[in-house]
Amino acid sequence: MFFFSKTLAFISKHKPIMETAVQTTFFAMLAIMLVSVVIFFRSQRSFVSLRRHPGFIRLMDITGTLSNILPRIPLITFGNDWALSGKHQPFKNAGWDVLTFTSFFPVPKTELIVADAVSLKDISTHHFKFPKPIDIYSILGMFGSNIIMTEGEEWKRHRKIAAPAFSERNNRLVWEETSRIVSDMLSTSMWDKKTSVVVEHALDLTLPIALMVIGAAGFGRRISWEEDSDIPPGHTMSFNDAVHEVASKLVIRIATPNWVYPFSHRLLRIQAAFYEFELYMKEMIQDRRDSLDEQHHDLFTVLLEGNENDSLEDRLTDRQLIGDIFIFLFAGHETTAHTLCCALGLLALYQDEQEKLYQQVTSLFPADGSIPSHELMNALTYPLAIFYETLRLFPPVASIPKCASQDTNLRLVKPDGSIGTLPVLKGTVVNLNIFGIHYNPRYWDSPEEFNPSRFLGPYNKDAFFPFSAGSRACLGRRFTENEAVVVLSMLVHKYKIELKDPDAYEGLTMLQRREKLLASKQGLTVTPAKVPLVFRNRV
């Protein structure tokens, strides 16, 4: 006790001196660190080659786990919503559509951020020069390697088996199942014969629709709008519940270490869902193998048939098949649901655009009220244009990382409009900024405006990147397009979509209303926070 009191007395007496010493030590350490960083960067090839090009310097990189969790901190992080909130503004401020990003945690490096259509075309066309940095995608391999997280020969094996599954036959099935699902929903007690239906969050409508579509057209399993609690022997959870938990709780599963799960009933349910999903997939593989002579056109069956018909050395393992179907579930569920949610919100805001959609749909849909046939897909140009414009304004994926596999030169548009080149050294990470390219006024007139008509005529396809491009373009593009056209057409044909509380938007400009209604957050995908709408029966 005596020693403790003496220590306190000493600290109190010499406090100013100690504070000065601590401050001096801190700034000395900071100076040493900065000098070390400068020396490192001066010797780092990628930094030296790009040091005269405009860009940013931060402590943390923009592709690491911490960077995708932490908010914007000056000089430390760009923030997990840097692409979503900045859009094209950082490029406009710099005068270039390709910028550098230098960081020194976890390791010093210089990356590129790209919102230039010329550069994007080169990167997507020359895939061998700019493959995916597969270490970033390893978190998606919980069920086995899959088409998203692989490169080289392994990726070719996945694509060879998966590509034929996304056929026109499957697209027709998507159309038919989506039509049935929406029709069944409108006949439930919540919707049938109601003058109006209030939906507190449009995502509560689009998520189950997307889940049912992927269940039927993806797995050959129809999910009912009524509660389905059927749990088969050997399981602890129904197929519906397992698929829903896996599709909606992926971020939690990725971010939570295994040792935490026993302390939370909610986490244990998520863990159980992932186990149950894998168990269901294994059973389905065996069931389909036992009945391959039966005619099924769902994605899972066609994928399995393609694998069984391939040579032994090129076949995927059961675990790889499950990995692929998991990725198709995630990509076909969450991204489609989020985009449809935003599209419904935009239609509520822009009543003139909704009226154009209604007029086209009414002119093409059967007069007897029957479900529209797949032959109408190519004629329904306006719902697809609305879907595309929504994808442009709210791309589900904010950025796509690539990595230079060799020293090369990247073409880009210089501030004066001429084409120049930028040296890119092997190992440099290149981030394709989807928001930046989608809001770039060089390629889009009035990019902030919601104008679906821009997709009814010629547009710069190299500047439209929601499905990626080149050999790594999304295989399920037509799958999701068929689904979106059906959902938007059938809902608007029967209901007028309005804002739930229009008074809350009084006095705001249209852009401010849109930002308020469709405020989004950045996770694995861009997610609308809350979109409250009213559906008024047109009858």
User: Within 290-335, where are the H helices?
Assistant: 299-309, 318-330
Q: How far apart are CA 234 and CA 249, in angstroms?
A: 23
**Amino acid in position 341:** C
- Helices (H) and strands (E) in the chain — how many of each? 21, 12
Sign of the torsion formed by the C-alpha atoms of 435, 250, 514 and 482: positive
Look at residue 400 and give its three-state secondary structure: strand
Residues 398, 436: Cα–Cα separation, whole Å: 9
Structure tokens at 129: 């020069």
Q: Which residues are annotated binding-site positions? A: 474
- Whether residue 99 contacts residue 90, with contact meaning beta carbons closer than 8 Å, is answered with yes
Q: How far apart are CA 184 and CA 180, in angstroms?
A: 6
Pair 172, 374: CB distance under 8 Å: yes
Q: Residues at the annotated binding site for heme? A: 474
Tokens of 309: 């018909």
Q: What are phi and psi of 488, to 5 degrees?
A: -65, -45
95: left (phi over 0), alpha (psi -120 to 50) or beta: left
Q: What are phi and psi of 423, to 5 degrees?
A: -70, 130
83 CB-side CA count, 13 A: 30
Q: Retrieve residue 501's tokens.
A: 């509380």
Angle made by CA atoms 148, 465, 429, in degrees to the nearest 5: 60
